[in-house]
């Protein structure tokens, strides 16, 4: 654990990408292969399931420290992270436990079959043999909230530099449902793990926001233009009569879309299709809020299946009969996709519409009108482009419509975590509902560090009530909130849900009397 703790300290002490890459490579050069395998697993989201109740961890820590509960709560509120709070309040260790990362992980996984008394004994003994950073890592692993500020790109670049492998090959090797007990570090890093089963997806090809004038892109006939849809980007895989549906977040979502799985199962051949999973009814794409009603349900009732039918708008084909097509131009891949869908004629899988246009000036109007069909804007893809792993500037661009905006007032604030744990960075906003206020959105981004400090001072001076870490504040600060979409929602007091809300600007020129009214906001819903 010592080497891993040193790595975490190094990563947390810098925001420079090159320094993080150097720290990761240094760790990989020193750590045993089993530890390196667990490092990759943890940094790609393959955490073990939580086998210890975090409420018990709090109780055990309070037994040791004899701190009153209110003081612990205040400390937790100030720090913003449970694992860190526990590490800070516990007394220094009396012993020194020397175990590798893989040994710790195996013991943590083994807690699944232990009694509560055995779990308590293990946790207390571990706390007593770990220093602050090791204890923090241990708590995060136990609590199932291991998150460190390293992007997937930084991780891949580090592994590429260490191994000499191509980045795209490594990305593909790390994807899918592999587990540390099923593969070795050598197999993973040398990409011998690329096709261990039929389910493995490819790394998604992503687009950059358009940063050029349309005229600078070249000839219009060199580009494929499609609508950008707001659904769930997914890969639909059919290999050897098995069907898998992967989300862009590397989550296997096959069971959430049984009608799509059944359709693909009935098709012939082997293929991997990239497309957008959407709620579509009577040929109209529904608001994302409708699609969301289908997600993360244990069971899908006949009523839900009927009320919110699903279709896939297919963008691309990445593999056909075992052949990787990603190096072919998208014009060729799209022709193959069209032929496959024409021959099989799946009712709920359709090729995405290619937008016909003669000159660049026509596109702006098409983009502006895209919200009318619940589209986010346009995708621009060079017809000769390959299917890259991740983003590559120049080949694919996304050109989104301007966001919708409302004016709302700050009513709740909560402190952030990490370097922002001393400041209020998490905000809830409200709008008018008659002569009252109703909460409409939460937002965590959009303010500068200077503005965050200003807001935090206001909250400290004008807090009305405390609810754990949350502060109710005087309704005085008005902000312009931007969002991508809006829909009716029974889960929100306001009756509406905003899609991707964020702070656009602090409206110091406006008072609470000038914020928007919920009934007017509802008129934005199509």
List active site positions. Answer: 228
Give the list of residues 6+ apart from residue 435 with CB closer than 8 angstroms, or none: none
Contacting residues for 31 by C-beta, under 8 A, at least 6 apart: 3, 4, 39, 101
Among the listed residues 148, 164, 166, 167, the one whose alpha carbon sits nearest the alpha carbon of residue 156: 167
DSSP string, 100-144: -HHHHHHHHHHGGGS-HHHHHHHHHHHHTT--HHHHHHHHHHHHT
Element containing residue 377 per DSSP (H, E): strand 375-382
Question: What is the maximal distance between C-alpha atoms in the chain?
Answer: 76
> Coil, strand, or helix at residue 385?
coil
Buried b (16+ CB within 10 A) or exposed e, 428-440: bbbbbbeeebbbb
Residue appearing with tokens 């950073």: 133
Instruction: Specify burial of residue 101 (Cβ count, 10 A radius: 0-12, 13-18, 19+).
Output: buried
d(CA 252, CA 254): 6
Distance, CA of 327 to CA of 10 (rounded, Å): 38
Of the candidates 230, 211, 231, 232, the residue with the CA atom closest to the CA atom of residue 380: 211
Output the CA torsion sign for 138, 139, 145, 147.
negative
């Amino acid at each position: 654990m010592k080497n891993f703790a040193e790595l975490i300290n190094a990563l947390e002490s810098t925001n420079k990408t090159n320094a993080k890459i150097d720290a990761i490579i240094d760790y990989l050069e020193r750590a045993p292969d089993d530890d390196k395998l667990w490092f990759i697993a943890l940094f790609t989201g393959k955490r073990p399931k939580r086998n210890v109740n975090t409420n018990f961890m709090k109780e055990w820590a309070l037994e040791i420290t004899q701190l009153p509960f209110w003081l612990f709560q205040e400390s937790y509120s100030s720090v913003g992270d449970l694992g860190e709070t526990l590490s800070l309040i516990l007394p220094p260790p009396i012993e020194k436990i020397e175990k590798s990362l893989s040994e710790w992980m195996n013991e943590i996984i083994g807690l699944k079959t232990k009694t509560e008394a055995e779990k308590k004994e293990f946790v207390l003994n571990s706390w007593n043999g770990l220093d602050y950073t090791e204890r923090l890592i241990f708590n995060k692993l136990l609590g199932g909230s291991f998150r460190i500020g390293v992007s997937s790109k930084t991780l891949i670049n580090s592994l590429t530099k260490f191994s000499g492998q191509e980045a795209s090959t490594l990305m593909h090797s790390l994807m899918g449902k592999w587990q540390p007990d099923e593969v070795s570090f050598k197999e993973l890093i040398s990409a011998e793990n690329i096709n261990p089963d039929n389910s493995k997806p490819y790394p998604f090809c992503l687009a950059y926001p358009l940063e050029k004038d349309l005229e600078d892109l070249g000839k219009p006939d060199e580009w494929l233009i499609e609508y950008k849809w707001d659904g769930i980007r997914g890969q639909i895989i059919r290999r050897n009569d098995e069907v898998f549906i992967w989300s862009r977040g590397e989550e296997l979502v096959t069971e959430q879309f049984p009608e799509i799985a059944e359709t693909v199962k009935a098709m012939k051949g082997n293929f991997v299709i990239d497309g957008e999973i959407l709620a579509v009814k009577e040929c109209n794409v529904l608001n994302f809020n409708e699609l969301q009603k289908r997600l993360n349900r244990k069971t899908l009732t006949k009523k839900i299946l009927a009320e919110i039918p699903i279709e896939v708008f297919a963008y691309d084909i990445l593999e056909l009969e075992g052949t990787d097509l990603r190096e072919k131009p998208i014009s060729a891949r799209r022709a193959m996709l069209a032929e496959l869908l024409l021959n099989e004629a799946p009712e709920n899988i359709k090729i995405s519409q290619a937008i016909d246009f003669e000159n660049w000036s026509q596109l702006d109007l098409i983009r502006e009108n895209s919200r009318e069909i619940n589209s986010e804007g346009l995708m621009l893809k060079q017809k000769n482009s390959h299917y890259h792993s991740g983003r590559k500037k120049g080949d694919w661009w996304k050109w989104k419509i301007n966001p919708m905006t409302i004016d709302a007032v700050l009513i709740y604030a909560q402190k952030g975590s990490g370097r922002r744990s001393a400041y209020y960075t998490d905000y809830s906003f409200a709008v008018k509902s008659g002569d009252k206020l109703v909460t409409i959105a939460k937002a965590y981004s959009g303010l500068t560090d200077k503005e965050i400090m200003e807001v935090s001072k206001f909250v400290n001076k004008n807090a009305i009530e405390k609810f754990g870490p949350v502060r109710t504040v005087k309704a005085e600060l008005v902000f312009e909130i931007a969002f991508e979409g809006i829909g009716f929602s029974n889960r929100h007091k306001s009756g509406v849900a905003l899609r991707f809300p964020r702070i656009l600007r602090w409206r110091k020129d406006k008072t609470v009397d000038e914020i928007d009214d919920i009934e007017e906001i509802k008129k934005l819903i199509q």
